[in-house]
Amino acid sequence: MNGEREFTPRTPKVCQVLALLLSRANRIVGFESLIEELWGEDPPKTAQSTAQTYIYQLRKALERERLATPAGELLVTKPFGYVLQVDGDQLDAYVFQRMLAEGRKALAEGRYLEASRQLGRALDLWTGPPLANVSQGSLLRAYRVHREEERLRAVELRIQADVLLGRHRELVGELKALAATYPHNEWFHAQLISALCRSGRRSEALHAYRNVRSILNQDLGIDPSRELQDLHQAILTTGLDTGPELQFAG
């Protein structure tokens, strides 16, 4: 957390408390939130005092590790709760959000190379699933889902930038993996089909369309979206060899 060494509390509940505080860094985390995260809808009668014990253990662990902000205390007691004070550059989630916003802005302004690089750097911060080694109650599960959706959006934006840079061949392998990982995500399938066709692999593009149509029919009982159907028709009639890049909602 301090950028120099790894620190993880040994006690699972203390680690869970730290994760919740980090997920709401620089904001008050009230007793109600701590109790909800640790015990859900059926907390013990001693929930508040036990939560205070976990906070005490966390504070002592932070002191032993000599972790603190330049301004002083890291974990601050407030009325009805606690605040974990961190600088923006100390938390990967904050750095990622800043890079995502910068990459999104560059893409919107037509600076595709800069957007691709910035979004790629943002995605490089991800080393695995968020909170993989932390017990998760309802609040941390919601936080994890939110972060995963942000990562997926960054992937989509970086792919858009690379498509607009004409990197169709370079994207094929990644898009195949994404389409397999998210089989119901039609946007990834559409980008794969388009990249294959624009790479001179028209028959593979048509096979990829048949594959996603089969997946959607068998798993969800639906047909491909109008965008995917239009893309399929465009491949059959023009091959996507010329003309502007096709855009799909995503």
More confident residue, 247 or 39: 39
| Whether residue 35 has pLDDT greater than 60 | yes
The rounded mean pLDDT for the chain is: 90
| Whether residue 3 has pLDDT greater than 60 | no
Q: What is the pLDDT of residues 56-92, one digit of tens each?
A: 999 998 888 776 655 567 899 998 899 999 887 888 9
CA distance 187 to 20: 33
CA distance 211 to 194: 14
Burial of 149 from C-beta contacts in 10 A (0-12 / 13-18 / 19+): exposed
Write down the CATH number for the domain with range 168-250: 1.25.40.10
Please count the residues of the chain: 250
In the block, tokens 């009982």 appear at 221
Model pLDDT, residue 4: 54
Would you place residue 25 in the very low, low, confident or very high pLDDT band (cuts 50, 70, 90)? very high
Model pLDDT, residue 240: 66
More confident residue, 10 or 168: 168
Q: Can you say whether the dihedral through the CA atoms of 104, 106, 110, 114 is positive or negative?
A: negative
What letter represents residue 73's amino acid? E
The residue extents of the domains of the chain are 12-87, 91-165, 168-250
Other residues' Cβ atoms within 10 Å of the Cβ of residue 230: 14
Model pLDDT, residue 248: 45
Would you place residue 135 in the very low, low, confident or very high pLDDT band (cuts 50, 70, 90)? very high
Query: Under CATH, what is the fold of the domain 91-165?
Result: Methane Monooxygenase Hydroxylase; Chain G, domain 1 (1.20.58)
Model pLDDT, residue 89: 83
In this prediction, residues 21-30 reach a mean pLDDT of: 95
Residues in contact with 90: Cβ distance below 8 Å, sequence separation at least 6, in sequence order: 1, 2, 3, 69
Distances (CA, A) of 123 to 24, 54, 214: 21, 33, 31
The answer to whether domain 12-87 has CATH 3.10.310.30 is: no
More confident residue, 22 or 68: 22
Cα–Cα nearest to 80, from 35, 131, 18: 35
Helices (H), the chain: 12-23, 31-39, 47-64, 92-108, 112-124, 138-164, 168-181, 186-198, 202-220, 226-237
